Amino acid sequence: MINRKAYISQVSTALKRSPIVALLGPRQCGKTTLARMISVQEPSTYFDLESQTDIRRLANPEMMLASLSGLVIIDEIQILPELFSVLRVVVDKPENQCRFLILGSASPDIIRNVSETLAGRIEFVDMSGFDLTELGAEVWQSLWVRGGFPRSYLADSDQDSFVWREGFIRTFLQRDIPQLGINIPAQAVRRFWTMIAHYHGQVWNASRIASAMGVNDKTVRSYLDILTETYMIRQLQPWHENIRKRQVKSPKIYFRDTGLLHSLLDLQALYAVTGHPQVVASWEGFAIEQILRTIRPSQAYYWATYSGAELDMFFVLNGLRYGIELKFSEAPDKTKSMSIAIDSLKLHKLLIVYPGEEAWPINEKITACPIMKVNDFL
C-alpha cells in the first residue's frame, strides 16, 4: 500500500483546529482509504452515504449525530447536501463531543451552500491521486501515462489500466454527475470532454468549441464548469500586469489527470503517447499538476501577451515572484520570451522544468531542473 502520510498529516492537523474537516477530491482518488486509515487511530463512527443502511441510520440526522462522540466520518456527503445545516447545529451545541471528517467528490462551489452554512466551522483539504512525491521520480513515465488514480496506476498492465479508466469515465458521466443534481445527457458531456482533450493546454475558446458542438457559448461554459468543479479539469487563470502589452485574458484548460486525457485520446501505452501530436501538451499538464502539488502556492497563473511572449506558470511564494517554463526536451535553453517575462513580471527566478534528472544554472535568473527538484530552487 502506498503510504500517503502527507495527506494523513494534513487531515490530522486540520481536525485539531476545526470541528469539521472536508476532504475533497475526485472519486476513486483514495479519500475513503485515507479516512479509514485515520479512523483506526481513535474511536470513530463511519457513515457511507452510498449505503442504504447508513442512509437509514441518518433518517433523523440531528438526533443520531448529536448522540455520538469522537471522530465521525461521513463519506460522499454531496449525496445529502442537507446534512450541512445539521452539522452546523450539532457542532454549535455546547455538549458536542464530536469532530467530523466529511468526504466529497465535488468542490464547495457545487455542493450547495456548504461554504455559507459552515463558515467558520470547516477546514478544507484537497486530495488528488498519486503524485511523484509519494511514488518517487523514477516512475514518472508510468504515472504520466496511467494517471494518478490508484486503481489505474496500480493495474497489472497498461491495458487493465486503460479499461479501468474507461469504466471510471462512464460511471462518472452516467451516475456521479446526476447525483449532483446536474441533468445533462451523459453523451453530451462525453462528447464535450473528448473534444477538449484535443484542446488540452490551450487557451479556452468557447465560441470555437460551441460551434463544433452545435450549441451556444453558455452551454459549453456550463460543461466546463461542471468538469472543473468535479476535479476533472483545471482552469489555469491568466495573470494581468500593468504593462504596455495586450495580455491574454482567457484561462488555459488542462486535464488534472493525464491518464483520463490519454483514455479520451485512445492512448494506452507510453509509445502511443510519445507518438501522438498532443505529447508536449500532455507532458506540460502532467508537470503543472506535479509542481502545484509539490510547492502548493496559494494561487498559480499563466501569462501571455498577444505579441507572443508567454510564461507557462507564474506564482508568488514568500513575497517573491517565480516563473515556470515547461520544455519537453532533453537540453532546454533560454528563449527571448523568457527574458521578456523576467523583465515584465519582475521575476526573482525562472525555472525551466524538463523531463530529465539533472539541474544546472543557465544564468543568474534562469535554472533548468527536473520536476522533483523544483523545491530546491524556491
| Contact by Cβ (8 Å): 46, 75 | yes
Domain boundaries, the chain: 5-126, 132-377
Buried-exposed string 126-147: b where 16+ CB fall within 10 A, e elsewhere: ebbbbbbebeeeeebeebbbbb
Fold (topology level) of 5-126: Rossmann fold (3.40.50)
Q: Do 368 and 330 meet the contact criterion of CB atoms below 8 Å apart?
A: no
- Judge residue 124's burial from the number of C-beta atoms within 10 Å of its C-beta, 0-12 exposed, 13-18 middle, 19 or more buried: middle
Give the integer Cα–Cα distance in Å for 135 and 143.
9
Q: How far is CA 71 from the centre of its chain?
A: 26
- For residue 241, give the 3-state DSSP assignment: coil
Predicted pLDDT of residue 311: 96
Relative orientation angle of helices 217-229 and 206-213, to the nearest 10 degrees: 110
* Exposure string over 310-340, b if 16+ CB within 10 A, otherwise e: bbbbbbeeeeebbbbbbbbeeebebeebbeb
Q: What is the reported pLDDT for 87? A: 93
Where do the H-state alpha helices sit in the chain? 5-17, 31-39, 52-57, 61-66, 83-92, 114-117, 132-135, 140-146, 150-153, 158-171, 177-179, 186-197, 206-213, 217-229, 258-264, 270-274, 279-295, 336-345
* Residue matched to cell numbers 456550463: 222
Burial 74-93 (b: 16+ CB within 10 A, else e): bbbbbbebebbebbbebbee
Per-residue model confidence (pLDDT) at position 349: 97
Contact 149, 28 (CB under 8 A): yes
Q: What is the pTM of this model?
A: 0.92
DSSP track, 246-301: -B--S-EEEES-HHHHHHHTT--SHHHHHTSTTHHHHHHHHHHHHHHHHH--S--E
Q: In what order do the strands lie in the sheet with 320-326?
A: 301-304, 310-317, 320-326, 349-353, 366-369, 360-361
For the beta carbon of residue 184, count every other beta carbon within 10 angstroms.
15
Q: How far apart are the C-alpha atoms of 226 and 231, rounded to whole Å?
A: 9
Question: What is the mean pLDDT, run by run of 10 residues, along the chain of 378 residues?
Answer: 88 95 93 93 92 94 93 91 90 93 81 74 93 93 97 97 97 88 86 94 94 91 92 95 84 98 97 96 97 93 92 96 96 93 96 95 95 91
The pLDDT, as a whole number, for residue 242 is 78
Q: Quick one: cell of 246?
A: 495586450
